[in-house]
Structure 1
Amino acid sequence: MSKADSIAFGRKYIHRAAPGSNDRRRDIRPLYETGPPAGGFFEAARGAYDQEMLEPRIQYTRTSDGVNLAYTSFGAGGVPVIALRPPQLSHIGLECGLPFQTRYHEFERMAETMRVVRFDSRGAGLSDRDVADISLEARMRDIDAVADRLGLERFAIQANLHACSWAIAYAAERPERVSHLVLHQPYTRGSDYWSQAARAALESLILVDWVTYTEASMSHAFGWVPGDVPRALAAQMRAAMTPEDFLKYLQVDRETDVTPLLSRVICPVLVVHFDMNALTPRDLAVRLAGSVPDGRLALPGNLRDAIRAMSEFLEHQEPVKERTAAFDDMPLRTVLVANGNARPGVIAERIASHGGAPVALMGGTPTGVFGSAQAALGCARVLAEETGVSIGVHAGEPGSAPATEADQSLVVAVRASVVAAPGEVVVSNVVRELVAGKGFRFRELSAPVVVPLMTEPLRLFALR
């Protein structure tokens, strides 16, 4: 980072090895000099610097394809949130030193009520640079690595601008892990953003004059208003990656289109658009909010209001738990499979409201895992009546491991769902016996069903 960039941030950073750590874990702690520079914007916001600011403790984890990622987390309680930022602007060692107006102590405010996780994507910030694979699929592995390292089984994702397509892809491909999605200034097609006339005009500067490009790009985003905010963000962009890597990400982003994935995003989605900057037109946000199964739109006047809207959005949902031995005490795990045409979001919501864990297996077939057969049947009955889908239920595979497509319990539940008529619930004899005396009535199907790897034909029963 240049001296000018350091002044723009108003603080210096050093790398220190954390006590007892190896060379893959380190802390990055800010060293304040004399506080924020006087004059201009900083003078008006000087009171903000009297508040305690985050000093992120940076740690490292490794992805399944061997990329080292820098991450940090802070806060506790509520719904854990993984905050994604565009790789082109991501540097977790510097972002907490940004001028107050660029983020209004965003992470400090969020951390008051929830756990917040930040990491630098591959090729950016403090993570491994010069990485060959920067595709959406590769970046989804980045999220997996950080979430797994922190023991987060389900979590919310908050994403800004270029990171929104990345978040959408993850929510569509891994619906069992994402509880909520918050998208700021989103777009689904990279061409919608990078083909804007002003953006295209600036692009020729990237390799010619990187400083001028970053300064002009950020000034354009803020409507060419004079002040320290665009300069500070431009400095962070230069720290985040080289111009060569920036061009690589730009090309991948320009060719990305996650529009076909929107219908597969089954979690609640909050789309946030600010009219105060020129990053994306409002109609992109409106269109996206109307294209997901459970979308809503917020048009806040400033970042404070956006944080408040996000907090309310998350607080009105049931908090999710970090990975624990949730199934350890279950004598049997009961699996429900819904087979038919129904909006996936409805099925996942019903499964969760009846105490089950929604998962996406078998080519996207909605599936739920329950701790009791009684809860699974209660959910199945409601789903069959509301959606008319065919439902199969089976209990087995004791233990805490999540259901996989190889589980016999899942295979049997799938076979039962295929046998079931639309709007019918078909269960195995194991389930029927588990709920004996609990008010459920069944009718045995006329012919047992052969299931691979089972020594005897399977007796199936329709719920009356």
Structure 2
Amino acid sequence: MVPETRYAKSGEVRIAYQVVGSGPVDLIVVPGFISNLDHQWDNPALGHLLSRLASFSRLILFDKRGTGLSDRTGTIPTLEQRMDDVRAVMDAVGSERAAVFGTSEGGAMSMLFAASYPERCQALVLYGAYAHFFTWVLPPDKFEGFLEKVEQSWGTGASITAFAPTWASDERFRQWWARSERLGASPSAVLALLRMNAEIDVRHILPTIRTPTLVLHRAGDSRVNVEAGRYLAQTIPGAKYVELSGQDHFISAGDADSVVSEMEEFLTGSRADVELDRILATVMFIDIVDSTKRASELGDRRWRALLDQHDRIARLEIERFRGREVKTTGDGFFDGPARAIRCAAAISEGVRSLDLQVRGGVHTGEIEVKPHDICGIAVHIAARICALAGAGEVLVSKTVRDLVAGANLRFGDRGFHALKGLDEAVHLFRAETEEYMRAPSAI
């Protein structure tokens, strides 16, 4: 559930904030250049990150003035004004001292806050942060061209390639990101904020920070060069530096649990074991037959347009049959095997109008559910069953066949097959999907 949003008054400006959790450490998050408190919970991966932070802290979230749910001011806020906003939010929630977590552009303000108000800053955590924009993010000669691209594409989600390249092909995340841009700030406000952020240089104040500091940075960060994090750790007295693997600047797009575990240990002295969400589910894989050949025949642009139509059909059917889409479009998992089979059949029928044929594989077993993906041996089995299916065919494991008694589904025996990674052969069956297409579906 989305936490309640309240407002703290900082001078004449009202700053939106939320409080989650009741841990022993107050942890206030200073976001990057834009945010929106309510919308961020709509992203499962980001919601997972915030929930984990709240598991060991009293997590304090806010939108900086001029962005998200906070007041639009008509002028570009200074760092001093933004520090006033942090104090106003802390006062509103009764926090005398807090650990400050500065991410990306929020790092500069967090460092200045730690140096200026050490009595209110218990600890400082920096992720993907930098002391000077032009040195570690973008050189001056490329800045104006960057601003032009931002102005032309703001609100479309095109900037996702710079912030979370591993999610760039995920249409759901791109749509969420596009809405984040629109809800975070207007195009004019964003351009002004970017210009202001580019002028900030806090290198000279780093040696004055006496607050215990943790610097986290991903080695292949697509937005901020890893040397930025190394410089912060070398220059802030006594700072601890942890370099993480990955290329995404956006925390949740990569291994967010590693980031949280490092923070938890730094702030509390110990880290909790991450319990994966393990459930019994039916996994369905769908694959386009002869996709490489069709792509070569059509060319990149026409093939991409055809894939978009395929993806829309797949998503609609997965939603209709109460499934949950996973990382690759067309794949999903369900709480019932009959719905998974019927969904695969419906997708196969739906894409025929596009002159496409798909194959499907379905298996039921225990899976581990991550914020944006699933894993486990059941996932691998379903994928390998799919690879054995012919055009227009949906193959299922014996486990699935045995669980759909009374579902009015018929099967043809396809015999035993050896699957890579399994010691024993798996008994497979062909779902008579044509029978399903003629029968009413009980969803």
Segments ≥4 residues shifted beyond 6 Å: 196-199
Distance in 1 (alpha carbons) for counterparts of 2:106 and 2:138: 14
CA contact (8 A) 2:13 2:73 kept: no
Q: Is the aligned partner of 1:313 residue 2:260?
A: no
Distance in 2 (alpha carbons) for counterparts of 1:287 and 1:133: 28
Amino acid at match of 2:22: A
Alignment of 1:328-367 (within 5 A): none
| Aligned position for 1:222 | 164
Alignment of 1:239-250 (within 5 A): 239-250=183-194
Distance in 2 (alpha carbons) for counterparts of 1:275 and 1:292: 19
Amino acid at match of 2:107: C
| Aligned position for 1:273 | 217
Please give the per-residue CA displacement for 1:25-67, whole angstroms capped at 9, x wherever unaligned: xxxxxxxxxxxxxxxxxxxxxxxxxxxxx4110001100x210
With the length of structure 2 as denominator, give the TM-score of the two structures: 0.55
CA contact (8 A) 1:99 1:229 kept: no
| Aligned position for 2:3 | 56
Distance in 2 (alpha carbons) for counterparts of 1:277 and 1:87: 17
| Aligned position for 2:40 | 95
| Aligned position for 2:139 | 195
* Displacement of 1:149: 0.9
1:200–1:98 distance in 2 versus 1, CA, 3 Å: farther
Amino acid at match of 1:296: K
1:117–1:245 distance in 2 versus 1, CA, 3 Å: same
Alignment of 1:281-320 (within 5 A): 281-301=225-245, 302-316=255-269
Aligned pair partner of 2:115 in 165, 172, 175: 172
1:94–1:82 distance in 2 versus 1, CA, 3 Å: same
What secondary structure, in the 3-state scheme, does the structure 1 residue paired with 2:150 have? coil
* Displacement of 1:211: 3.1
CA contact (8 A) 2:76 2:192 kept: no
* Displacement of 1:200: 5.0
Amino acid at match of 1:311: E
| Aligned position for 2:25 | 79
Distance in 2 (alpha carbons) for counterparts of 1:143 and 1:277: 27
What secondary structure, in the 3-state scheme, does the structure 2 residue paired with 1:94 have? helix
What secondary structure, in the 3-state scheme, does the structure 1 residue paired with 2:207 have? helix
What secondary structure, in the 3-state scheme, does the structure 2 residue paired with 1:122 have? coil
With the length of structure 1 as denominator, give the TM-score of the two structures: 0.53
Aligned pair partner of 1:154 in 83, 97, 100: 97
Q: Is the aligned partner of 1:116 residue 2:59?
A: yes
Q: What residue ranges of structure 2 are gaps of 5+ in the alignment?
A: 246-254, 271-443
Aligned pair partner of 2:13 in 57, 60, 67: 67
Distance in 2 (alpha carbons) for counterparts of 1:198 and 1:275: 23
Amino acid at match of 1:249: L
* Displacement of 1:133: 4.5
Q: How many matched pairs?
A: 258
1:171–1:266 distance in 2 versus 1, CA, 3 Å: same
What secondary structure, in the 3-state scheme, does the structure 2 residue paired with 1:208 have? helix
| Aligned position for 2:311 | none
Distance in 2 (alpha carbons) for counterparts of 1:237 and 1:275: 26
Please give the per-residue CA displacement for 1:8-36, whole angstroms capped at 9, x wherever unaligned: xxxxxxxxxxxxxxxxxxxxxxxxxxxxx
1:209–1:217 distance in 2 versus 1, CA, 3 Å: closer
What secondary structure, in the 3-state scheme, does the structure 2 residue paired with 1:106 have? helix
Distance in 2 (alpha carbons) for counterparts of 1:295 and 1:197: 32
What secondary structure, in the 3-state scheme, does the structure 2 residue paired with 1:290 have? helix
Distance in 1 (alpha carbons) for counterparts of 2:47 and 2:218: 14
Aligned pair partner of 1:139 in 82, 85, 101: 82
Q: Which moved more, 1:268-277 or 1:91-100?
A: 268-277
CA contact (8 A) 1:87 1:120 kept: no
Higher normalized helix content (fraction of residues): 2
Aligned pair partner of 1:232 in 171, 176, 181: 176
Identity score, percent:
27
* Displacement of 1:196: 7.4
CA contact (8 A) 1:60 1:70 kept: yes
CA contact (8 A) 2:216 2:243 kept: yes
1:313–1:93 distance in 2 versus 1, CA, 3 Å: same
What secondary structure, in the 3-state scheme, does the structure 2 residue paired with 1:267 have? coil
| Aligned position for 1:390 | none
Please give the per-residue CA displacement for 1:65-86, whole angstroms capped at 9, x wherever unaligned: 2101110101012210001102
* Displacement of 1:198: 6.9
Please give the per-residue CA displacement for 1:244-277, whole angstroms capped at 9, x wherever unaligned: 0111111111110011111111111111112354
Amino acid at match of 2:228: L
* Displacement of 1:219: 1.5
Distance in 1 (alpha carbons) for counterparts of 2:19 and 2:265: 21
Amino acid at match of 2:72: R
CA contact (8 A) 2:41 2:47 kept: no
CA contact (8 A) 2:15 2:63 kept: yes
Distance in 2 (alpha carbons) for counterparts of 1:98 and 1:300: 23
Distance in 1 (alpha carbons) for counterparts of 2:155 and 2:13: 28
CA contact (8 A) 1:104 1:303 kept: no
Amino acid at match of 1:169: L
1:185–1:230 distance in 2 versus 1, CA, 3 Å: farther
* Displacement of 1:197: 7.3
1:112–1:99 distance in 2 versus 1, CA, 3 Å: closer
CA contact (8 A) 2:122 2:211 kept: yes
CA contact (8 A) 2:30 2:61 kept: yes
1:152–1:104 distance in 2 versus 1, CA, 3 Å: closer
CA contact (8 A) 2:7 2:16 kept: yes
Distance in 1 (alpha carbons) for counterparts of 2:236 and 2:30: 20
